[in-house]
Chains A and B, each alone.
Chain A
Amino acid sequence: MANSSSVYETQSRVDPIERHTLAVLVDNEPGILARVAGLFSGRGYNIDSLTVAETDHMAGLSRITVVTTGTPMIIEQIKSQLGRLVPVHDVADLTSEGPHVERELALVKVAGRGEHRVEALRTADIFRARAVDSTTESFVFEITGSSEKVDAFIDLMKPLGLVDVARTGVVAIARGAGGL
């Protein structure tokens, strides 16, 4: 039985790791975020990004956007596991269900004087970031876009006096007329 392998190494072939963006419509009730986050940690799934906020106050609904990575079999598991949580109304795999838009917002604080200050403003302009706070020695920029664009902007701010970054994580929605 020298060729025996662990049941946990489930496949002899290596499945590709995919990145999927899921939208989950849930009842806005206490503990729902812990339920979702606990499911991911308890079953060893990855969370690259997770955002949640109430989207329909009257109906008491919140929308969770979660970006995760895994093999196709794991992604399928994640969707089924989310789907069987009692307060979950709907799970949509935006990545596999057609084109969708993903956006992230970041607040980026930069402190500096002289040429650094001018260069920061110039870069912000190129990235269409807005200055939402300003002192004689600092700016807070608001930037919106894909995660890659936000990453690139933050990288450029590093040598210019980057102090703090706050990011929302990814929110996403399907293109076209349909909804959850």
Chain B
Amino acid sequence: MTGAAMVVRALIDQGVEAVFGYPGGAVLPIYDEIFKQNQLKHYLVRQEGGAVHAAEGYARSTGKTGVVLVTSGPGATNAVTGLTDALMDSIPIICLTGQVPTHLIGNDAFQEADTTGITRPCTKHNYLVKDVNDLSRVMHEAFHVARSGRPGPVVIDLPKDIQFAEGDYSKPEAFEHRSYRPKTEPEPAAIDEALDLMAKAERPLFYIGGGVINAGPQASADLRSLVRSTGFPITQTLMGLGAFPTDDKQSLGMVGMHGLYESNMAMHDCDLMIAIGARFDDRVTGRIDAFSPNSKKIHVDIDASSINKNVRVDLPIVADAGRTLSLLLKGWRSRNLKVNAKAIDLWWRVIDKWRERQCLTYDKTSKIIKPQLALELLQAAMEKSGREYFVTTEVGQHQMWAAQFLQFRDPNRWMTSGGLGTMGYGLPAATGVQVAHPDALVVDVSGEASFLMNMQEMSTISQYKLPIKLFILNNQWMGMVRQWQELLHGSRYSESYTDSLPDFIKLAEAFGWTGLIANDPGELESVIDRMIQVDGPVIADIRVDQKENCFPMIPSGAAHNEMLMGPNAAQTAEVSDAGKALV
């Protein structure tokens, strides 16, 4: 069997159904094998960066591993942003890259790049296959590495002569890696200690991140049972949204820089923080030396390097979030533990006071469309449709508003670029989601600036007749950049205005999509309804208030209890020089 045939065979043996890619000289033998079979469907993107984001959307909405196939040189370098995105957000991706023949490696050959060198820091692991007899082992090992432990992207660099070479293919039965063995099982003593802390806590808080989503649907189910059995409040990171229903009375909503007031105040004042699958990232913690000063912290993470990286914790548990949740739930029930009901009741009353601040208030009487209103109406319309729905986003103000104003009830329904903050993520990610869920309603909540970064993927969406809804909150600004310029740079709007925007309706029509526009609040509902009803892809150009900013906000370098609550607060807030230096 040739190397190229082995690659396709290994993908099929791994249960892969969809590959996102773009052909080129160094991968033609693999494309030829794809041509000869029917089990694997290839989706042709319009730029390799789009292929990785599409695979990410596919992976995040299904829990499977996303697969990418690109050529050498520029094919591989275009994939780098997506690979970094997948690494930061722990998304399992296999990226197959073509390479020049082994005898030309290092010769500055046409379309040669040092792919393993370039991708070493932005992948979980990478391989350069120099012997066809290593190929089937590498293919299967790569899938194991990508999806086990803390998931991440894995690159397999395939020189063209290896694709032509003949070798033996075998699918390993059981797989045990000689050095890579992630620890998934928590220590029983640590579980007991965690349960003791929970039973004693007076102001406890669950702090839940994307690790719970990655651990699979059972982890979210066990989380729900545990949160409900304890009656504790829960907050979720941008990546964790959906692990627990955000409209549940125990949910305090998102935490962090643009998190809800009650969430951040609870983080600051809790006496027990139960962090599961969350990594104390700087967008969550704010000022480290003022972060939750009086709490004991339990930290469950499958990656030992996440523990004590930013914040010192009291009880580290290096294990799979799902296994840990299942054992915590079992222990809580079998030991028949009871919470300190009086203290918890008091804690809820404190939280209710914070909730009364109504931190997500905005002007509902405005004659101009407020982005918040557009999202609330979108949420209502998605629910009313009765269909299963998925939301992707780009990066910026619209992303934070979506996180604040949409509701997340199930895991794997919310795809957003968290760690890397990649503008242009949402449209290709939606492509991957819609491929995996052809009958579902898939909406990319977008900003006009982010959308332009990967708008070439409209063509992909047209080709495969994917009925994606592109919901552009169009304020004609790089809104988040403008917001920071207002906050930190005296409102000197250096290069943040999105000039020369296309006519989005004509753009939609040019690709065979439907184009809709909403100019005032009265049109919103009908435009959204129409967007959902249309059988095919739609651009909805929602002309929102150009001046609206995203609040509440913890400014850089500030603590959780120093939130800015609205535009008037922003004018009076002074950000320190140290804070200004942060991103």
* Cβ B305 vs Cβ A84 within 8 A: yes
- Tell me how far the C-beta of A149 lies from the nearest C-beta in chain B, rounded to whole angstroms: 35
Residue in chain B with minimal CB distance to A39: B121
- Tell me how far the C-beta of A36 lies from the nearest C-beta in chain B, rounded to whole angstroms: 11
What band does the interface of chain A fall in when counting residues whose beta carbon is under 8 Å from B?
A: 20 to 34
Which chain A residues border B180 with CB–CB below 8 Å? 86-87
Spot the interface stretch: A8-16, A156-164, A169-177. A8-16
Which chain B residues border A1 with CB–CB below 8 Å? 555, 557-558, 562, 573-576, 579
Spot the interface stretch: A27-35, A47-55, A99-107, A108-116. A27-35
Which chain B residues border A123 with CB–CB below 8 Å? none
Which chain B residues border A42 with CB–CB below 8 Å? 121
* Cβ A73 vs Cβ B304 within 8 A: no
CB interface residues, B 284-321, toward A, < 8 Å: 285-289, 303-305, 307-310, 312
- Tell me how far the C-beta of A49 lies from the nearest C-beta in chain B, rounded to whole angstroms: 22
Contact of A4 among B304, B305, B308, B578 (CB under 8 A): B578
| A136 sits at the interface (CB 8 A) | no
| B351 sits at the interface (CB 8 A) | no
| B330 sits at the interface (CB 8 A) | no
With A and B bound together, what is the CA distance between A6 and B286 in angstroms?
9
| A168 sits at the interface (CB 8 A) | no
Please, how many residues of chain B have a CB less than 8 angstroms from a CB on the other chain? 42
Residue in chain A with minimal CB distance to B117: A34
| B107 sits at the interface (CB 8 A) | no
- Tell me how far the C-beta of A71 lies from the nearest C-beta in chain B, rounded to whole angstroms: 11
CB interface residues, A 53-87, toward B, < 8 Å: 73, 76-77, 80-81, 83-87
Given contacts A5-B289, A38-B120, A42-B121, contact A77 B573 (CB under 8 A): no
- Tell me how far the C-beta of B466 lies from the nearest C-beta in chain A, rounded to whole angstroms: 35
With A and B bound together, what is the CA distance between A68 and B559 in angstroms?
33
Contact of A10 among B310, B581, B582 (CB under 8 A): B310
| B282 sits at the interface (CB 8 A) | yes
* Cβ A76 vs Cβ B120 within 8 A: no
Which chain B residues border A10 with CB–CB below 8 Å? 288-289, 310
Residue in chain A with minimal CB distance to B318: A80
With A and B bound together, what is the CA distance between A112 and B286 in angstroms?
63
Contact of A6 among B149, B555, B581 (CB under 8 A): B581
Contact of A31 among B116, B289, B575 (CB under 8 A): B116
* Cβ B179 vs Cβ A89 within 8 A: yes
* Cβ A27 vs Cβ B287 within 8 A: no
* Cβ B582 vs Cβ A89 within 8 A: no
- Tell me how far the C-beta of A28 lies from the nearest C-beta in chain B, rounded to whole angstroms: 11
With A and B bound together, what is the CA distance between A176 and B77 in angstroms?
49
Contact of B286 among A7, A31, A34, A35 (CB under 8 A): A7
With A and B bound together, what is the CA distance between A30 and B128 in angstroms?
9
- Tell me how far the C-beta of A38 lies from the nearest C-beta in chain B, rounded to whole angstroms: 6
* Cβ A7 vs Cβ B288 within 8 A: yes
With A and B bound together, what is the CA distance between A45 and B281 in angstroms?
19
| B125 sits at the interface (CB 8 A) | yes
Q: A4-B557, A86-B125 are in contact. List 20 more A-B contacts (CB 8 A).
A: A1-B574, A1-B576, A3-B576, A4-B562, A4-B578, A5-B289, A5-B576, A5-B578, A6-B578, A7-B287, A7-B288, A8-B582, A35-B120, A80-B305, A80-B307, A81-B305, A83-B304, A83-B305, A86-B124, A87-B180
